[in-house]
Structure 1
Amino acid sequence: MQAPQPLRCAGRRLGRRMDRVSAERMETPGRRILYLSYDGMSDQLGQSQVLPYLAGLTGRGHRISLISFEKSSRSDAEIDAARRACDAAGVDWHPLPYHKRPPILSSLYDLLVMRRQAERLQRQSRFDWVHCRSYLPALVGLAMKRRHGLRFLFDMRGFWADERVDGGLWDLKNPLFRAVFRYFKRKESELLREADHIVSLTEQARRIMLERPDRAVDGPPISVIPCCVDFNHFRPVAGSRRETARNSLGIAAGQRVAAYLGSIGTWYMLDEMLDFFRVQLERDPGALLLMITRDDPAPILAAAEARGVPRDAVTIGGATRDEVPLFTSAADYGLFFIRPTFSKAASCPTKLGEFLALEIPVVTNGGVGDVAEIVEDSGAGVLVKRFDEPGYRDALDRLERLELHKDQARQRARIWFDLDSGVERYDAIYREAATDWNSSTSRGACEASE
């Protein structure tokens, strides 16, 4: 199979443009960036999927002001840790309080506060780019582009409005949610049309966007930058670290361990994962399901009992970002199933890259972003073909036969998930002149790679 090139806008042409950017970096100053995120920097998502990128970009000379929303449940220690990380990276951080209730109105209020803060910072700094992480911040970013002429980077992260429907959060039978959905679909068209550059997490979503009937021939370029992983943070599992992890968790040396990493949320198929693990228990009664999550253990344990998985076969506990690689090292394989819906074509599960960086094979499902292609290309896992007992037995059989070439799998995973490569792509986007991005050559590069 030919090696994929997911971290790209358009393959070779963007690669040549990046070489030019690297050569000119010492001669040209970094850009002034206003980065807008509705996710908090005290959240694990912010710590793994925002701050490492920003640290890399400030290291390349860019001056970044960051606005994010922090939850009231976060402790002073967590906020202080995020503050120290931003200070160490040279990021000018402006945290705002997140509001959850009442639904919709609370989000509108947060966006109003974000817009006011963005305007204050614009008066002070006169930014070159407004970089917006997902749809809600992008509404503010588009307004800033229209008013101040900033270049607008729409880092979309997924088909957000469709996710709300597919996830059951917006019931389209309800007139209010139907109206909100239609509003955001109209806004989605505006964001995709008026952005100076679009970043997608997956090739699947990129192809969908390129085929949209409302996309202009000279539409903005679309780069694919998955949820990247710091391969220096997630190092290969060594024997001593695996032993340390198992000892700290009370896991016997020969015990078979399947690990789940992260919150369950709306999309992860807990019942099906428990059914899979019950089949694993039939083969190995001493097996353990290790769930590294900050979620409340009670609903998970209740679901386990309902699916015939004994409570003592499940271990649940949270971990800091620094602890995640250590605890995950106790696993023999990673396990996660995601509901394969239309909106998930744009999703890239962070845990996939983290497992592969640790050289831990995975059991997962296709129909989600580029997951199937990545698993097949890396040779570091198996895909469940059916969500039933025969399908689970088949997957376990293939997992037992899997010949995992760990070094090769990790290197293949780097092609998709390497953090340094992701930072380079964002750096290239920031440094491109607006006229360059609007040239027919740049547009053709992205579209010609189809």
Structure 2
Amino acid sequence: MDEGKSMKASSLKQVLYLSYDGLTDPLGQSQILPYLAGLSAKGYLITIVSFEKPDKFEASSRKITQYCAENNLLWEPLVYHKSPPVFSTAYDLLALRKKVQQLHRERNFSIVHCRSYITALLGLWLKNKYSIRFIFDMRGFWADERVEGGLWNSGNPLYKYIYTFFKKREKAFLQHADAVIVLTEAAREVVLTWSPNYKVTVIPCCVDLNLFDPSKIMDTQKIALRTKLGLSADDYVLLYLGSIGTWYLWNEMVAFFRTLQEHKPSSKFLVLTPDRNLVEGDKDFIVLSVAREEVPLYISVSNLSVCFIKPSFSKKGSSATKMAEVLAMGVPVVSNAGWGDVEFFRDRLKNMYVSEDTKELPPLNHYRSENQDEFFRDLFSLESGIMKYDQVYRTLLS
């Protein structure tokens, strides 16, 4: 089909995007809005319903409203309720149902695109009631992740019931979805063992390569930042970028750093995290929380990065955005095995090293900075992710 005619046809199609994560959350700004802006530019009329935390909404709503207006996105924010547990979520779902019914009467959606399991409850309902094409963007194995991460106590009868409920709904989502999106090849393999008939596409968390571009960082900027951080010319910098908590093997990463110090005594551990209060270190730790636009420069002053994640069934579905951002900057990454697609990456990506033993430190001359190749860009670039979503939309609308 002619591209112009195809885009004209798609411009007549209304898409409803549902997210229980807020657009004013950092995740919403990095992993939701850029994709939807790209799809909007291809002619889709997208309405977003998201749940916003009051403090984040107050701080960032004006910026997000402007971004949506500039990218022809229609945003319908709802208030996220955190407590009491379970009942607050049920209340939010009732508010969502009321909102999407109203919006569908006004806009007659052709597709409902649901991010993760909570909103998929409404997506499946919309499909059954109005015959709207339903995309289950499952992200990962959410119910299993809640149990394995200790967020749902399986010994508690209420949480045991909730887990069982969502595992049954998971099966229904997969059976009735017109398209299923997962983040990893490992997750796709698991889902297809349940049924080879599921329509599964892999779209990993992507990276804005215009922002994470090592060619845009000047040597003078690196020197100035190293001076600001108190780093000498001889200091070897290990980087950790991201959250610290349930799934991240923080103690093992600290042990890795201590092993590194035995080989390079002048090593420093640069930790860029929003969870500064969870880090206890000494004079060799530099712990900061920096704005997203500053992250590439901070990555550029590091020699090596570490990313250890607790292996489990649910983490087969995890795609570490931060790891891809570091790789995009040409900095080598050391990871443990047993989660996501790290073994797949080890065999195909430059600068990716996977260790079976988190205490193991291969010879440091094995690590070298290299810019990524076309394979990396095809896998992780934002443009590639938008193209894959566009292909899913086009297939459903054809």
With normalisation by structure 2, the TM-score equals: 0.94
Q: How does 1:19-34 map to 2 (within 5 A)?
A: 20=1, 22=3, 24-30=5-11, 31-34=13-16
Deviation at 1:48, TM superposition (A): 0.9
Q: Which residue of 2 aligns with 1:222?
A: 200
Verify: 1:330 aligned to 2:298, yes or no: no
Given that residues 269 and 339 in structure 1 are in contact (C-alpha distance below 8 angstroms), is that contact kept between their aligned partners in structure 2?
Answer: yes
CA distance in 2, matches of 1:84, 1:426: 24
Question: Which stretch has the larger CA shift, 284-293 or 57-66?
Answer: 284-293
What whole-Å deviation, never above 9, does each CA across 1:290-330 have from its counterpart, x for those lacking one?
111111x23311xx4xxxxxx22112221222122222222
Partner of 2:390: 427
Provide, for residues 233-280 of structure 1, a one-character-per-residue CA deviation record: whole Å limited to 9, x for no partner: 110254344334324434333321111112123211111111111111
SS in 2 for 1:431: helix
Q: In structure 1, how many angstroms separate the alpha carbons of the residues matched to 2:35 and 2:66?
A: 16
1:137 aligns with one of 119, 122, 125: 119
Ranges in structure 2 where 5+ consecutive residues have no aligned partner: none
Q: Work out whether 1:157 is the aligned partner of 2:154.
A: no
| One-letter identity of the residue aligned with 1:25 | S
In 2, Cα distance between the equivalents of 1:417 and 1:264? 23
Name the CA distance, whole Å, in 1 between partners of 2:227 and 2:73: 38
Shift of 1:158: 0.1
Task: Tell me the CA shift for residue 76 of structure 1.
Answer: 3.0
- Conservation of the 8 A alpha-carbon contact between 1:357 and 1:410: no
Where does residue 277 of structure 2 map in the other structure? 298
Partner deviation per Cα, 1:162-217 (whole Å, 9 max, x = no partner): 101111112212211111111110000000000000011011111111111xx3x6
Asked if the contact 2:307/2:334 (under 8 Å) is kept, the reply is yes
Residue aligning to 1:6? none
Change (3 A) 1:21 1:243: farther
Q: Distance in 2 between matches of 1:168 and 1:130?
A: 31
| Letter matched to residue 131 of structure 1 | H
The AA in structure 2 aligned to 1:383 is: V
1:13 matched residue in structure 2: none
1:343 aligns with 2:310: no
CA RMSD of the aligned region, Å? 1.9
Matches within 5 A, 1:68-217: 68-74=50-56, 76-212=58-194, 215=195
More relative contact order in 1 or in 2 (CA 8 Å, sep 6+)? 1
Query: SS where residue 322 of structure 1 aligns?
Result: helix
Instruction: Work out whether residues 142 and 152 of structure 1, in 8 Å CA contact, stay in contact via their aligned partners in 2.
Output: yes
Change (3 A) 1:375 1:224: same
| Inter-CA distance 253–21: structure 2 relative to 1 (3 Å threshold) | farther
1:54-99 per-position Cα deviation (integer Å, ceiling 9, x unaligned): 1100110111111111222326342222222222221111122211
Deviations for 1:101-145, whole angstroms, at most 9, x for unmatched residues?
A: 111111111121122111111111011100001010111111111
Aligned-residue offset at 1:403: 4.5
Q: How does 1:223-242 map to 2 (within 5 A)?
A: 223-236=201-214, 238=217, 239-242=219-222
SS in 2 for 1:387: coil
1:107 counterpart letter in structure 2: T
2:365 aligned partner: 400
Q: 1:372 aligns with which of 343, 347, 359?
A: 343
CA drift of 1:157 comes to: 0.3
Distance in 1 (CA, whole Å) between partners of 2:5 and 2:171 is 34
Deviation by residue 1:383-437 (Cα, 9 ceiling, x = unmatched): 121133xx2x33xx2x432354x23x34332121011111011111112246x6x
Q: Which one-letter code corresponds to 1:300 in the other structure? A: V
Supply the distance in 2 between the matched residues of 1:275 and 1:98 (Cα, whole angstroms).
Answer: 38
TM-score by length of 1: 0.83
Q: 2:376 aligns with which of 403, 413, 420?
A: 413
Contiguous gaps of at least 5 residues in structure 1: 1-19, 305-310, 437-450
Letter paired with 1:232:
N
Q: d(CA) in 2 for partners of 1:249 and 1:289?
A: 11
Matched letter for residue 341 of structure 1: S
Offset of residue 29 of structure 1: 3.1
